[in-house]
Chain A
Amino acid sequence: MINIFEVAETNEMIEKENLDVRTITLGISLLDCIDADLKMVNEKIYQKIYEAAKDLVATGDYISDEYGIPIVNKRISVTPIALVGGAACKAPEDFVSIAQTLDKVAHEVGVNFIGGYSALVSKGMTKADEMLIRSIPKALAATERVCSSVNVGSTKTGINMDAVKLMGEVILQTAEATKTEDSLGCAKLVVFCNAPDDNPFMAGAFHGVTEADKVINVGVSGPGVVKTALEKVRGENFEVLCETIKKTAFKVTRVGQLVAKEASKCLNVPFGIVDLSLAPTPAIGDSVADILCEIGLEQVGAPGTTAALALLNDQVKKGGVMASSYVGGLSGAFIPVSEDQGMIDAVTAGALTLEKLEAMTCVCSVGLDMIAIPGDTKATTISGIIADEMAIGMINQKTTAVRLIPVIGKGIGETVEFGGLLGYAPIMPVNSYACDAFVNRGGRIPAPIHSFKN
């Protein structure tokens, strides 16, 4: 039987170490909402999502009360809208109307984000894909809760450089369209390579076409729990360090598995996956950077950072995999800058640069995330950064992503405040040498060879 110390340990994790379930995300297929008539598409989308998700928030709160574990977010992901709206939308504005429908139903059912305003263009773009991508700035400016993502490359197909070029422009336009809110729109826009179909985390969540009609995916979190566990093994060797991370990750993930199963039962929706992630928040003690410092770095960015992150990421997966019957999504340690106080401190101290962050993304989930850059950064430079990150994903057969925020009207050294879970960020310098001739070539980077792994 459970003993008092185990009970105390769990409650300590929840109360003092910020253990929580970061999100219950309900994936909903909208493929059956396809229609040639735009009005009908919007109506069908609204109805389908409303019917599927009307009890989502209440169920989440109910489970949260029963187990005494905070469930921070309840969210929805839908089929990439470029597929759903393709038959009806004749102009980018038509797609914006679908974004508004998504926003309306998100408000109605009470979820804080709805993801899937997306296009999957890793090899080529259909007319609908391109229209959706071009509509992103307006869609994100006209809505509050809609999140957008574009998959521009994969290990199987290579990188669609036309899409990479376009996304550089779209990110800048989104920044411009939302400049009154410090270019907040860009915080809801992710560019992916090897995007997973079952990711529960925003802003990159969408309900892939390989998924069932509806599915429950859960994202766990617990950087504070890992940090506290590691405090107890200071000075011990790597074996002890890794074992401690694994055991902690196991415990954290078990909570996610429990919540996912309960939510699945309550909502009568199949359980999809648990995303084994260490997702930080700006709250003190909820930082992945702090774990890296606890492992032995003075600041994140110091030599050793990539190795420390690699072992952390790997142990989290090793511990978490056994704790859940199905694992998926982005599983790993997230390193968003603005959402992690330790990362913010490292950037402010000058210890952490964009280039080091790029190196770190080679060994962890997910990519260059929530990084504020000067508003006058050129579109081609943004495309160059995207291309670099996509190349890492393509070659290493992993998911990588870019969520950059060029803050219009602000420059290096200034700070931007996004509020809430999105946090705040110092604006980071970007290499000022141009890559226009590279980005403007057009076409695709071919898929990589899968042998000769050197």
Chain B
Amino acid sequence: MCAEMRSMMKKTIITVVGKDTVGIIARVCTYLADNQINILDISQTIVQGYFNMMMIVDTNGTKKDFGVIAKELEQLGESIGVIIKCQKEEIFSQMHRI
């Protein structure tokens, strides 16, 4: 379905929210590296003990479908005890940029 969209994959935003613990970034980055997903930018804060991270990544190199990556990242999040979401960048750029 919708081959056109798939062929022109753009930037993807990965957000990680949850209780801070050792190795969150490491495990997410390992997953991304294993799947040939290039990280363009990372920013991270701790708000009231909660870990908040955003990554901007390029998914053009991966062979997996967007839906599969999103699902696998969600499962990875569950195993770490954080919530990982994977969304196309446009929803943010459309909303916050004219």
Contacts and interface: CB of A to CB of B under 8 A. Distances in A.
Given A66-B66, A265-B4, A251 B96 contact: yes
Given A10-B92, A254-B94, A68 B86 contact: yes
Contact of B90 (A8, A9, A67): A67
Contacts of B54: 3-4, 7-8
A257 interface: yes
Interface stretch (A55-63, A184-192, A338-346): A55-63
A51 interface: no
B13 to A, nearest CB: 6
B85 A258 contact: no
A6 interface: yes
B1 A62 contact: yes
Given A10-B95, A254-B95, A262 B5 contact: yes
Interface string A1-43: 1111011111100000000000000000000000000000000
Q: How large is the interface on A (under 10, 10 to 19, 20 to 34, 35 or more residues)?
A: 20 to 34
A255 B95 contact: yes
A65 interface: yes
Interface in B27-72: 41, 43-45, 52-54, 56, 66-67, 70
A347 B8 CA distance: 51
Interface in A327-352: none
B79 interface: no
Given A2-B89, A66-B66, A67-B88, A8 B2 contact: no
Given A66-B66, A66-B88, A257-B94, A2 B4 contact: no
Contacts of A255: 91, 94-95
Contact of A265 (B5, B70, B92): B5
Given A7-B15, A10-B95, A266 B5 contact: yes
A66 to B, nearest CB: 5
A258 B90 contact: yes
A69 B86 CA distance: 11
A5 to B, nearest CB: 9
Nearest to A66: B88
Given A11-B15, A65-B66, A65-B67, A6 B92 contact: yes
A265 B96 CA distance: 22
Contacts of B43: 3-4
Interface string A100-111: 000000000000
Nearest to A251: B95
Interface in A179-232: none
A396 B32 CA distance: 58
Contact of B70 (A65, A69, A254): A65
B1 A8 contact: no
B61 to A, nearest CB: 18
A255 B95 CA distance: 7
B37 to A, nearest CB: 15
B94 A266 contact: no
Contacts of A55: 1
Interface in A121-151: none
B87 A2 contact: no
B88 A7 contact: no
Contacts of B87: 66-68
6 contacts: A1-B41, A2-B56, A8-B54, A62-B1, A66-B87, A254-B94
Interface of A: 1-4, 6-11, 55, 58-59, 62, 65-69, 251, 254-255, 257-258, 262, 265-266
Interface of B: 1-2, 4-5, 13, 15, 41, 43-45, 52-54, 56, 66-67, 70, 85-97
